[in-house]
Structure 1
Amino acid sequence: MIDKKNKLYRITGIVCFLGLLWLGLIHYSEADATVCPIKLATGYPCPSCGSSRSILAFLKGDFRDAIMINPLGIVSLIIIICIILLLLIDIVFKKDLYYRTYSYVEQFLKTNKLISILLILLILANWIWNIKKGL
């Protein structure tokens, strides 16, 4: 369990750091180029296309634009903040709250197939919306 836990913490920490670095680069960059491999290969946006711009709009207080660009960006921001807080709590207080929360959510989604299906359908609906609005 320790190796699985350590691996989860390392990967999550790296992904959060890279995500925050990416947001910083986008915020201070003048470039408006896409890096989405799906959009570059097919010309169609992926379900998460626009999430970075959505998060930045949200952080600037432009909530309507954030939702219109991609609501998944706001959901992603909330998840990222929660993960970072849980990781910091675990590091500072030497707990395993993040690992237990992650394990609980993973088990919950495995045992509640209807919730998992609804989440997948919401992501698909968001993808269709991204395509329709020409993101």
Structure 2
Amino acid sequence: MTTPTTGRTVIVTLPPKLPLLSSNQRPHWATKARRTRLIRDTAAWTTRALREAPMQRAVVTAVVHPKTNRQFDPDNYHPTAKAALDGVVDAGLLPDDDKRHVIRTSYEAGPKTPEGWRFELRIEEVA
């Protein structure tokens, strides 16, 4: 099903080499909490720096750019996407990340980036 968008897209790119969270990892709870906070805070200040007007509803695509050509599953980076989306909400771009404001979240692999793994949220405003 296609969701009608307004054509406005905001891309929140986290810096390369930021430690990402994957569903395959099993870190200590304190390590996971520190990484989650780092991703959330980084996404918040990155979103604020864009100085974009708030949106009410959006479709979100999480794009994972690998460092190598090895196979990987972009869906496994859901913990990173959730933390980053919480940061976008903290910055005020979206009022909340519930089902009324985030219509759909999808995951895709981006092109290889030799400087390190990179993660971005592509946020498309919905009419």
TM-score, normalised via structure 2 length: 0.30
Task: Return the structure number with greater relative CO, CA threshold 8 A, min gap 6.
Answer: 2
Higher relative helix content: 1
User: Rg bigger for which structure?
Assistant: 1
Question: Per residue, is there more strand in 1 or in 2?
Answer: 2
- What is the TM-score normalised by the length of structure 1? 0.28
